[in-house]
Amino acid sequence: MRRLKNLRHMLLNNLLKTTSKKKKRIGRGYGSGKGGHTVGRGQKGQNSRHQPFLLFEGKKTQKSLLRRLPLLRGKDKLKSQPGKAVIINLDQLKHFPAQKKISLEVLIKEGLVEKDEAKRGVKILGRGEIKKPLEVTLPCSKGARGKIEKAGGKVYA
- Would you give per-residue pLDDT tens digits along the chain (157 residues)? 555 555 656 777 778 888 888 888 888 888 888 888 888 888 888 888 888 887 777 777 777 777 788 888 888 777 776 678 889 999 998 888 888 888 889 889 988 888 888 888 899 998 988 888 889 998 999 999 999 999 888 888 7
Any idea what DSSP says for residue 52? P
Strands (E), the chain: 86-89, 101-102, 122-125, 135-136, 154-155
Environment class of 100 (CB within 10 Å of its CB; exposed 0-12, middle 13-18, buried 19+):
middle
Strands (E), 4-153: 86-89, 101-102, 122-125, 135-136
What CATH number belongs to 86-155? 3.100.10.10
pLDDT of residue 25: 86
pLDDT of residue 125: 92
Environment class of 90 (CB within 10 Å of its CB; exposed 0-12, middle 13-18, buried 19+):
buried
**Helical H segments across 1-102, by residue range:** 2-8, 46-49, 65-68
pLDDT of residue 142: 92
